[in-house]
Structure 1
């Protein structure tokens, strides 16, 4: 009985000592526990409470758990959202091909400068009669323009008559006198009439060697000497040229403004040798001139088809082709002129008319992607290339846009995989961050 009592006392003693030890351990643990805010880890204290910043309940630091080890499989998830976007969306590859393209142009109808001619006076004299009265008067080839009294022409006629009468056997001298009259502008018909009648004419007529319209009646003396004025060789129909020579206007000539600003010649005025009397334009062929950016002129080749439309004539179209390409620089703007020849004998095009045109061509082989695959962010264009299961933005250089396709000049390769819709990867508050060296 005594032994049983001692055994029970021993058990009670052990229980009491264990409880005390556990209480001391618990008190020690409670005394060393630290509490922190889940949102503000800089807040740490030794007892429970609330965060002084956000008011959340503090939690023991042991509740945070063991730190997570970031493996390669999870590393891309920790990248900033403006650098890498993970999504299950459709993808495409750039396609190398040629695409039919077009360029929109604005221009004007003007005269063909190769068909603007100047009719000068071959000799000096006084205008006795004038048959052209106003600018834009229609004239035809061989039509009499004016009659001039010239002492030099009268003397040349009398020399020929004297030789024919006094030395008919001297053929060479007679031919030289005839040639002198031709150089002064006399026609073969006028020389024949002179020899037939035997009477020198005091006035000689000047005939038009061209068909067209009068666009300049000059009243001022020439600023250059006659030797400085280029004269073309007589044409096949020189017999109707009269005293006039054919001086074609050079490339520097400009189409005259409607209405003309030059005063017409007057009867009784004196003209000098080489003085331009009148300009004639033949409107059977016109020019359509367009200005385009210099960067697009390399895409268009001579012979490319052009469809010309007229804003004031809806539905009317005129087909032509590119005949001339001219780089041009003016007032700090770098552009090029595209010229197309169009027939003047039609009802649509008129000189001075504003027109629009579309030039068609085929691009060189290049990489093309849908327009939705490229995002314009202002200073750059961006495409999202797939890398390691994610889409990363890369800067691209775009070229021609045609329909729903855009040309990629630089930034992508043919085997790259890109998102088919770049806008889908960007929300309204995102900012795309591009690295200097994208892989």
Structure 2
């Protein structure tokens, strides 16, 4: 008996705390309303909610499906405008809803680019033999050896040079009677690339030299060794290839979507793993006018002085540009956390000014370029609007529960842009369906928190994606595939390379986004169900979506920790 009394007492305490929290969260209902809730006296038009989970909203009293607490009557929304959603001050504080005033500014973006160090092609040199002969002695024996201008590289025996010297001495004997013959003999020696100093030495010695020195034309590092001692060489043969490494190129890969942000003269800071904590700088000197058809990137090049020779060709580098979009006027920029992304036309919530109770209005905006942590707004906001920057999805959830215009229910004063679906071949449709089915296997593995199976199914998903050829699509469908598939493949590759399930889940966020966009464009067969799910807490509270073939919410980002956290956004 005492056990039942204790249990009943616990329930009473929980109920009283719930009633108090409901009063605090929704602005305070009267005692009579609380009592009527206790006795389940339901009046027409009254809705019930949970004091701990305000997203719960139902017509009949009962218990919260999430925590089991008794539901309490919800205060009515007194806003006159049907587009407005009003929350009590205490609810706004509990949900930590924050707003920021938007201002016009110059759009800036931090571009991250990968690349590598390369030899400056303008500072390479081919040391050639200007006359046929035999290498008697080589003083350069390995690739990478440093040489200086004028350094002896090899000695060469050349019968042609021996003959030319003899002709010189014979011409010298008759120089008084035939000076032109002497001039011709000297010019012949010059044509064999003998220096004036060497010609004077020959003249002074009065003897025919049998071997001649080959000296370095420039300073640098030997990059190619083409001869050995005893080799016979022909006139014009390249003996050594030399590169000057005191100045190098840094080549970065820039994606098509980032090229608008890069211009000649921009400063790039970059790092190499060999020198952690040290930052190098360069300026953009050249942007490749062609896109690589395989990687879909353009090369962005800079010059760097390498006085201490810390940098080596083929070193990988990570670069960063503080880029500005070349626009004539300042534009409105909002944080990414404010935008509920639904495509080029997305949704933000704006705080209604000059009202006592926190009131918000959903506005559709046209997105411009994506910045590092924000978007450019082309249309839909004006300078000075206060947008919700934290708690956006909480406001949207409240709007949905009250039947107000929301992200998935844009009813009043909102023009929606229909998503166009491309026509695709039967071959592509069959292959793409297999991609979606393999995606579901990966998703289910994450739901079960099975990292091994997640990795295996990701590899399977990769293989099915690689069976799709770009030649299966035509026109706009082909261009859309070429634009989106590289990112999908890149994120899948990162999932495979990851060494733990948390890292795989982070890349799964982007995989789900890319595949969702593709399905909305390419479609699936009518008997294939696709539901877009959303969890506001995933992805470090930035929110993340995933795809499912059932209406049951099973969260792949948290697994057993919060298996049911999320909601159905729409059926695709």
Classify 1:385/1:432 alpha carbon distance in 2 versus 1 (closer, same or farther; 3 Å).
farther
| Equivalent residue runs for 1:40-439 within 5 Å | 77=82, 84=83, 86-87=85-86, 95-168=103-176, 170-218=178-226, 265-346=227-308, 348-363=310-325, 364=327, 365-377=330-342, 381-384=346-349, 391-403=361-373, 405-408=374-377, 410-412=378-380, 414=382, 417=385, 419-421=387-389, 422-427=392-397, 432-433=408-409
Deviations 1:168-213 (A, max 9, x none): 4544443332222122121111111111122222222211111111
Are the structure 2 counterparts of residues 417 and 194 from structure 1 closer, same or farther at C-alpha, using a change threshold of 3 Å? same
SS of corresponding position for 1:190:
helix
SS of aligned partner of 2:131? coil
Report if the CA contact (8 A) 1:129-1:146 is conserved: yes
The CA distance in 2 between the partners of 1:426 and 1:390, in whole Å, is: 10
Q: Higher strand fraction: Structure 1 or Structure 2?
A: 1
Q: What is the aligned residue count?
A: 313
The alpha-carbon deviation at position 415 of structure 1 amounts to 5.9
CA contact (8 A) 1:109 1:353 kept: yes
Alpha carbons 2:285, 2:303 under 8 Å: kept:
yes
- What SS does the corresponding residue of 2:162 show, helix, strand or coil? helix
Cα deviation per residue 1:32-90 (whole Å; 9 max; x = unaligned)?
xxxxxx99xxxxxxxxxxxxxxxxxxxxxxxxxxxxxxxxx98x74xxxxxx5533698
Question: Per the alignment, do residues 414 and 179 of structure 1 end up closer, same or farther by CA in structure 2, a change over 3 Å counting?
Answer: farther
| Cα offset, 1:436, TM superposition | 5.1
Distance 2:276 2:112 in 1: 17
- Give secondary structure in 2 for the equivalent of 1:337: strand
> 2-side partners of 1:292 and 1:309: how far apart?
17
Q: CA deviation at 1:354?
A: 1.7
Contact map agreement 2:136 2:230 (CA 8 A) in 1:
yes
Question: How well do the aligned residues superpose, as a CA RMSD in angstroms?
Answer: 3.3
CA distance in 2, matches of 1:172, 1:384: 95
User: How much has 1:393 moved relative to structure 2?
Assistant: 4.6
Q: Distance in 2 between matches of 1:197 and 1:157?
A: 12
Matches of 1:324 and 1:268, distance apart in 2: 44
Give distance in 2, aligned partners of 1:187 and 1:112: 29
Contact 2:155 2:214 in 1 (8 A): yes
Q: Distance in 2 between matches of 1:366 and 1:170?
A: 84
1-structure distance, mates of 2:310, 2:370? 32
| Whole-angstrom CA distance in 1 between matches of 2:381 and 2:306 | 50
Given that residues 328 and 334 in structure 1 are in contact (C-alpha distance below 8 angstroms), is that contact kept between their aligned partners in structure 2?
A: no
The alpha-carbon deviation at position 100 of structure 1 amounts to 4.3
Q: 1:274 to 1:380 in 2, by over 3 A?
A: farther
Q: Structure 1 unaligned segments of length 5 or more: list them.
A: 1-37, 40-72, 78-83, 219-264
1:213/1:369 Cα in 2 relative to 1: closer, same or farther (>3 Å)? same
**TM-score, normalization by structure 1:** 0.62
- Distance in 1 between the 2:109 and 2:382 partners? 21
Q: Which runs of 4+ in 1 moved over 6 A?
A: 88-93
Equivalent-residue separation in structure 2 for 1:413 and 1:431 (angstroms): 16
Q: Which has the higher helix share?
A: 2
User: Whose radius of gyration is greater, 1 or 2?
Assistant: 1
Q: Which moved more, 1:426-435 or 1:286-295?
A: 426-435
Q: Matches of 2:134 and 2:351 in 1, distance apart? A: 87
Instruction: Indicate the structure whose relative CO is greater, using CA pairs within 8 Å and at least 6 residues apart.
Output: 1
The answer to whether the 8 Å contact 1:294/1:327 transfers is: no
Against the structure 1 CA distance between its residues 305 and 92, is the aligned structure 2 distance closer, same or farther, given a 3 Å change threshold?
same
Aligned residue for 2:155, secondary structure, equals strand
Aligned to 1:19: none
Query: Any conservation in 1 of the 2:126–2:238 contact (CA below 8 Å)?
Result: yes
Contact 2:107 2:376 in 1 (8 A): no
